[in-house]
Amino acid sequence: MKKKRVAIKIRRTKPKASKLAKKHAKQVKRAPTPPQYSKTIIDVKSLMSLDEAKKYVFDLAGDKGIEIFTFLLNRSPIEENKLARKMKFERANAIRKFLYRLYSKNLVSYIKKKHGVKAWYTYYWEAHPDRLLFLIQKDYEDEIKQAQKSIDLNKATDFFTCNTCNRRYDLQTALENDFVCSNCHGQLSHMDINQVLVDKENRIAFLNEKIKKLSLLVKTRKVHSS
Ligand SMILES: [Zn+2]
């Protein structure tokens, strides 16, 4: 026979929060709502004096791209035709090519405005130095990840190099090839990996230093959460 359970109700002085409510509270703590408007002010003069910044913009849009981007920095959005004139382009069409290249990485953006009852739009362009800073830092971070991966790999296995052509083999391949180079039939010898590791560690330290220096170019971050 089944025993009857006696339910005893205890009135708690403090009601226990439900699991769901607790979970919700945790989530709220973990993910603060992002501010609606944030403005990052970058020391653009220092930024554009850096070789890596110039190179990034140059690779994207050439010398003219650097000129346009630098001109747009620290100024309110400027109307396209006016910008073209300032940059000594004969027509707005000609400058658009460069603007779109910069736009492809969101280094610049535009605002469309319609004036009166006219059917066409006017475009106002502005630059985003914070985006450039972010992209350079991201490139450095990616390289650090690659270098770290390579360090881990090098630590995990032995490597061999050909005495003649310097081709590199991992232990498994070297064994399969009887320590003979498949490229030139030269003799393989054990590779001293320490210098490679030291070089990579140094490169990581160098890149981390670069990332830190770039972060110092962020002057103020004004947040309006209204
Ligand atoms: Zn070889």
Ranges of each domain in the chain: 37-128, 132-219
| Rounded distance between C-alpha atoms, residue 173 and residue 176, angstroms | 5
The alpha carbon of 200 and the centre of ligand 1 are apart by a number of angstroms equal to 24
Q: How far is the CA of 195 from the centre of ligand 1 (A)?
A: 21
- Between CA 6 and CA 3 the distance in angstroms is 9
Q: How far is the CA of 189 from the centre of ligand 1 (A)?
A: 11
CATH architecture for the domain at 37-128: Orthogonal Bundle (1.10)
Looking at residue 221, what is its pLDDT?
59
**How many C-beta neighbours within 10 Å does residue 53 have?**
23
- pTM over the 0.85 mark: no
CA distance 131 to 172: 44
Per-residue pLDDT of the chain (226 residues; tens, 9 = 90+): 445 555 555 455 554 556 656 555 555 555 555 555 566 789 999 999 999 999 999 999 999 999 999 999 978 999 999 999 999 998 888 999 999 999 999 999 999 988 777 678 889 999 999 999 999 999 999 999 999 999 998 888 889 999 999 999 999 999 999 999 999 999 999 988 888 899 999 999 999 999 999 999 998 655 655 4
CA 193 to centroid of ligand 1, rounded, Å:
18
Cα of 22 vs centre of ligand 1, distance in Å, is 64
Task: With CA atoms as reference, report the closest residue to 40 among 222, 181, 190.
Answer: 222
